[in-house]
Amino acid sequence: MRTLAVLKTALTGNYAVAHAVRLAKPHVIAAYPITPQTTIVEKLSEFVAKGELKASFVNVESEFSALAVVYGAAMAGARAFTATSSHGLFYMYEMLWWAAGSRAPIVMAVVTRTLGPPWNIHDEHNDILAIRDSGWAVAMASNVQEVLDLTIQAFKLAESAYIPVAVGLDGFVLSHTVETIELPPQEAVDEFLPPRRPDLPLRLRPGEPITMGNIPSDDRLHAEHLKNIYRASQEAKKLVKSIDAEYGKLVGREYGGMVEGFELEGARYAVVCMGAWCGDAKEAVRSLRREGVPVGLMRIRFVRPFPDEEVAELSGMDRVVVFDRDITPAGGILGREVASVLGRDKVVNVLAGLAGVDFKADEFRKAVKHAVEGEYADRVVLL
pLDDT of 116-134, one tens digit each? 999 999 999 999 999 999 9
- CB within 8 Å of 137: residues ≥ 6 apart: 154, 157, 158, 161, 163, 164, 165, 166, 233, 236, 240, 302, 304, 305
Determine the longest span between alpha carbons in the chain, in angstroms: 69
What pLDDT, in 10s, does the model give residues 302-346? 999 999 999 999 999 999 999 999 999 999 999 999 999 999 999
One of 3.60.20.10, 3.40.50.970, 2.60.200.20, 3.40.50.300 is the CATH number of 7-251, namely 3.40.50.970
Coil/strand/helix, residue 142: coil
CATH class of 259-382: alpha beta
User: Residue 317: its pLDDT value, please?
Assistant: 98
**Residue range 194-223: mean pLDDT, rounded:** 82
pLDDT confidence tier of residue 208, bands split at 50, 70 and 90: confident
Distance CA 173, CA 230 (A): 33
User: How does the average pLDDT of the chain come out, rounded?
Assistant: 96
Burial 1-11 (b: 16+ CB within 10 A, else e): eeeeeeeeeeb
- CB within 8 Å of 217: residues ≥ 6 apart: none
pTM for the model stands at 0.96
Q: Is the pLDDT of residue 1 over 60?
A: no
Q: Is the pLDDT of residue 199 over 80?
A: no
Does residue 201 have a cis bond before it (omega within 30 degrees)?
no
> Do 7-251 and 259-382 have matching folds?
yes
Domain limits, the chain: 7-251, 259-382
pLDDT confidence tier of residue 210, bands split at 50, 70 and 90: confident
φ, ψ of residue 179 to 5 degrees: the values are -135, 155
Note every long-range contact of 337-346, with CB atoms under 8 Å and residues 24 or more positions apart, other chains counting.
337/303, 337/306, 337/311, 338/272, 338/311, 340/308, 341/308, 341/311, 341/312, 341/315, 342/311, 342/312, 342/314, 342/315, 344/379, 346/315, 346/317, 346/318, 346/319, 346/320
- Whether residue 147 contacts residue 176, with contact meaning beta carbons closer than 8 Å, is answered with no
What pLDDT, in 10s, does the model give residues 93-107? 999 999 999 999 999
Range with lowest mean pLDDT among 6-15, 33-42, 204-213, 265-274 = 204-213
User: Residue 166: its pLDDT value, please?
Assistant: 99
User: Residue 3: its pLDDT value, please?
Assistant: 67
Distance CA 335, CA 321 (A): 8
Distance CA 325, CA 352 (A): 6
**Residue range 49-77: mean pLDDT, rounded:** 97
Show the beta-strand stretches assigned E in 163-218: 165-170, 178-183
Q: How many CA atoms lie within 13 A of 179 on its CB side?
A: 20
Residue 207, amino acid: G
What pLDDT, in 10s, does the model give residues 246-283? 999 999 999 999 999 999 999 999 999 999 999 999 99
User: Residue 85: its pLDDT value, please?
Assistant: 99
